[in-house]
Amino acid sequence: MTTRKLGFVLAALALASAVVACGETATTAPASDTADDHPEFSFGEPADAASADRVIEITASDDFRFDPASIEVSAGETATFRVTNIGAIPHDFTLGDESTQQAHAEEMEEMAGMSMPDEPNAMVVAPGETRELTWHFTKAGDLLIGCHETGHYAAGMIAQVTVQG
């Protein structure tokens, strides 16, 4: 076999290997589609809206506020948060403790300018939109609802959630 033919054969084999490797990657489910992609939450778990004990209406506004600013739920309760953005800019709704809020803030910062995908405890609510997030609270404690669009959390777009024992 000539050197030139050998080069073509090696190039064809390399191309075939790349195609096979890409094909294997394409048929493998992305990590975001697996249950293991999201950490377990110490304060509860996502739930089906049909199992909600009640619906809590919340508005998000461009004056960087959630209304109501304080919410009480009970451990063992399942609540649906129905969030309406009455403003003209997007708002993020993230349920969690301080460490969850910090981690989400860092994630939002890394994704600056990109669309944030929904997470079990977080969603983006577009202007004029109403969205729901249902959560089963498993233990007593203090949680926060925060908006992590650039500058909103720092401006005070936070609501307190008290989970009674």
Quote the pLDDT of residue 39. Answer: 57
Closest to 43 (Cα-Cα) out of 159, 163, 146: 163
Q: Which residue has the tokens 């064809």?
A: 12
Per-residue pLDDT reduced to its tens digit, 96-146: 999 999 988 888 888 776 777 889 999 999 999 999 999 999 999 999 999
Per-residue pLDDT reduced to its tens digit, 71-99: 999 999 999 999 999 999 999 999 999 99
Burial of 122-140, coded b for 16+ CB within 10 Å and e otherwise, reads bbbbeeeeebebbbbbeee
The Cα–Cα gap between 58 and 66 comes to 7
The Cα–Cα gap between 81 and 47 comes to 11
Chain mean pLDDT for the chain: 81
